[in-house]
Structure 1
Amino acid sequence: MNTIEQQLWDYIDGNLNDDQIKNIRKKIESDHSVQLQYEELLKLNAAFSEMELDEPSMSFTRNVMEDVAILPAPVALKTKVDQRIIYSIAGFFGLALVVVFGYILYNSTFSFKEIDFNFKIDLKFNQFLDSTGIYIFLFADLIIGLVFLDYIIRKKTADKAS
């Protein structure tokens, strides 16, 4: 609907304030096309008001409620996490630990002289542990912790429900 048609409907229905009523009356009186449109809408409104409204039967509500009662109650959907996803995540972190341990062993120096046990590890943590690395590590730990907390809460609510 265009704006003039909407305004005419509001005018017919009596949903306008005094200023808007005056403006619409001026438009109807001054513009012939608006006056024709107004007359058509009045005829349409009269036709609508002459129509009889269909009413449902007296037992409609009872019949609907009986049909609803017959239907089975919906069951809550329980999701199951695929074990392959869990194993993949665990494998990723296990592999990451092995890679970090291998990196440490590769960059360290071992010296064994006779019985003298001289174990020297020369690590430069500043190379790979800057603030960004620490933030990434803490963010990953936070996500893992939230997933674990969600698992615990879901398990407790499932135990209470059964």
Structure 2
Amino acid sequence: MNATEQQLWDYIDGNLNASDRKNIAEKIESDTEIKSLYEDLLKLNSAFGELDLDEPSMSFTRNVMESVASEPAPVAMKTQVDKKIIYGIGGFFVISLLILFGYVLYNSDLSMPEFNFNARLNLNLDKYITPTVLYSFLFFDLVIGLVFLDQFLRKKMHK
């Protein structure tokens, strides 16, 4: 659609202001090509006006809703894993652990070593436990305690 056709459609529909309407009317009177296009558009507009719009029947909505209701509802797909597979995987890991334990027992010396503990511990704890370390430890414990209290209260609120 070119600009002239758009202007003619706006003229036919009455969407122009007075000065534009006057300019288009002068163009229609002066130019025969624009006048024939204007007459064709007027005929087309009147043909559109005579068309009856098809309306759905009164029971259209009811028919559509009944059709939707008669369709089977989609079922969520439920996949089930065979219990034999689960038992097989579990059995494999149990047997693997038993074989590993047996290998360790086979290669180990089962005699108990002599227990001789003659360690001299000479630790100066005052060097490591300063007030800053103590306050940091207490602050960390306080934060953890508040987190656990928050979780406990949230669970209690949901119940």
Q: TM-score, normalized by length of structure 1? A: 0.41
Instruction: Please identify which structure carries the higher strand content.
Output: 1
Q: TM-score, normalized by length of structure 2? A: 0.42
**Larger relative CO (CA 8 A, sep 6+): 1 or 2?**
2
